[in-house]
Chains A and B, each alone.
Chain A
Amino acid sequence: MGNVDYMELIYSFHQDMLDNKFTLVYDGEITHQITKAFTSLAESKMDSYSEDSSIKKKVFHVMVECLQNLSKHAEEYEYKGNKSQYGNGIFIVGRIGQEEKEYQVITGNAVEKKRVPELKALLEKINQLDKEGLKELFKKQMREGSMSEKGGAGLGLIDIARKTGEKLEYHFIDMDEKNNFFLLRTKISRIID
């Protein structure tokens, strides 16, 4: 006999996933192996219903950049007295919207508060720019941004906005005196333009 409440919690967790159309939820460290596993899982899933190749490419691209952001930038933090051994991030993939006409990729990770203003400024800047502006920003960051030990120089976020043609949806939650939790939601339309 297992703990009934606990078992039912799992069932309600399962229902939450179905209700929200989450097909993959992962919480933990993101490694290169996990990135490869998740992207190939998504690719073969999309192959199984013959998803359009340009949409497949976009989903792959966004997943790689999102996972990379988590692996490079997720901050370690204490949760209820336990320090997470690695930077913990949550990663969610699903198909949403009317007749599931969109894919979504969601990431969540702790970000040090002192880094938040810079990140917010970049997100706001990206959301103000049009296609041409994003292209110029990408070129500028690529030229000027050195490959820091964290890597990337914000290229990933700009690239996500460019590839999806959508504004970045994001939210910051106050966690403790040191960190904010940063949520980023990316949608990829399945309608071919």
Chain B
Amino acid sequence: MDVIKIKGTDDTPNIILDAENNIIEFSGRSLPEDVVTFYAPAIQWIEEYAKNPNPKTNVIFRLEYFNTASSKAILDILLKFEDIHNDGNDVTVFWYYQEDDEDMMEAGEEYSEIVDIPFEMHSY
């Protein structure tokens, strides 16, 4: 499978999607000008990955900031992984937030309430 590596900027996140090395990670800031276009390659990659996922999938989110337009895209990504989980695969979301960032912690908790995947919350 192709590897996707998108380097983050001050308004778009770092994205690593690497099936071979089993790394799926979104980090940084997310307020892209066009959310749908920005996240489309990641969504496509996950759909492709779903056809033949690794025995264990860890999805890492380490976001500093995202706007409400991105929050919907993040949910769409999580729902794709929920499908993989519902197909009987082992999927865990690791949600990292800065120690004093209550909003980011709550955002993770809210996603874990919406999406049927185990979440692990970690502060850093």
Contacts and interface: CB of A to CB of B under 8 A. Distances in A.
A120 interface: no
Dominant SS at the B interface? helix
A60 interface: yes
Q: Which of B11, B35, B69, B113 is most buried by chain A, counting CB atoms within 10 A of its CB?
A: B69
Interface magnitude class on chain B: 20 to 34
Contact of A57 (B65, B67, B68, B110): B65
Interface of A: 32, 35-36, 53-54, 57, 60-61, 64-65, 68, 135, 138-139, 142-143, 145, 147, 151-153, 155-156, 158-159, 163
Nearest to B76: A147
B10 interface: yes
Given A142-B72, A142-B114, A151 B67 contact: no
Contacts of B33: 32
Nearest to A155: B68
20 contacts: A32-B11, A32-B33, A54-B100, A57-B101, A57-B103, A61-B67, A61-B103, A64-B31, A65-B67, A68-B67, A68-B68, A68-B69, A139-B110, A139-B113, A142-B71, A145-B72, A147-B35, A147-B69, A151-B35, A151-B69
B36 interface: yes
Contacts of B31: 35, 64
B4 interface: no
Contacts of B113: 139
B6 interface: no
Contacts of A54: 100
A147 B67 contact: no
Contacts of A143: 75, 114
A147 B75 contact: no
A67 B106 CA distance: 24
Of all A-B residue pairs in the complex, the 3 with the closest CB atoms, nearest first, are A155-B68, A32-B33, A159-B68
A112 B36 CA distance: 26
Nearest to B115: A143
A152 B36 CA distance: 11
Contacts of B110: 135, 138-139
